Amino acid sequence: MTTNMINAADAGTWRLGDLAVNRLGFGAMRLPQTGGALVPDAVPRDRGQAVAVLRRAVELGVNHIDTAAFYFSPLRSANELINSALSPYPDGLVIATKVGPARDASGRWAEHAMTPEALRAQVEENLRQLGRDHLDLVNLRILGSHDRFAERFGALAEMRRAGLIRHLGLSNVRPHHVAEAQAIAPVVCVQNPYGIGAFPEQEEVRGLCERQGIAFVPFYSLAGTRREGGRSGGDDEPAVGAVARELGASPAQIRLAWTLHQGPHVLAIPGTGDLAHLEQNVAAAAIRLPGEALAALDALHRRTA
């Protein structure tokens, strides 16, 4: 498949509230530096390279970009790179961000980042960095203590009513959080760790989202079984490698394709700072797994979960 033929739309579309997006999107965590914005002592990404990746992603039909104000390195900010590369933003581009965790200028995780006042400050910082007057989608990311969840989500719901946020979602949550949030305001997506070998509780969340028409947006779907690192050069699962060889694809593409096969409500947001990897990820949108291949991957998923 040549790169001028690939398009994120090949995976189909889903609606985040009233916003239609292609199911194959882009995660911005890896833009500020190699290894990801949250990896200490990583090498800062070349600015021109990061900008080129973002612009190429949009050229390839990506219209759903996931970011956060806490995605930054000593030299680069994912939000600032998005603003510089894509503003004025094209029609139909949906930028989703996360609030909850926060880092100080040195990169250390800040305390007391989950108060309503702190969440308001994070929303305003995302607005400033992205150059927007409202945010398309804000996900409340749960990290550490889950106390006062309703108060935190309620603070975001108030900002939604004030026009600063269009839609709300959740990240790193359990089923009871979804129910608790929906009693306060509509939830259009849930971002949780998911991929081949994901823990059974993540299947529960995926199924819950399917029944309720909520987008399920996995992160770490390329990292391999239970790993939170990035893409590796190979793949340590023979079943994945066998399917990849059969279809003439890479193991990473097979993992993405399997994820997208888990339901029309399942979106993917693979991240990279490399143009070649970007094009490979987007090409996965067109991969259709034959029945035998899908059965083999499903069996691996159940065995490693």
Catalytic residues: 71
Q: Which of 173, 108, 165, 178 is nearest to 141 (CA)?
A: 173
Question: Which residues are CB-neighbours of 177 under 8 A, at least 6 positions away?
Answer: 142, 146, 149, 170
Separation of alpha carbons 68 and 129, rounded Å: 10
By DSSP bridging, strand 13-16 and strand 94-99 are unpaired
Q: Count CB-CB contacts under 10 A for residue 271.
A: 26
What CA–CA distances, in Å, run from 84 to 47, 50, 75, 165, 220?
A: 10, 10, 14, 21, 26
Pairing of strands 94-99, 135-141: parallel
Secondary structure element (H or E) that encloses residue 90, with its range: none
For residues 141 and 172, the answer to whether their CB atoms sit within 8 Å is: yes
Residues 6+ apart with CB under 8 A from 102: 69, 70, 109, 110, 113, 118, 122
DSSP single-letter state for residue 24: B
* 31: helix, strand or coil: coil
How many Cβ atoms are within 10 Å of 103's Cβ, its own excluded? 17
Closest of 160, 174, 228, 229 to residue 205, by C-alpha: 174
Distance CA 123, CA 112 (A): 15
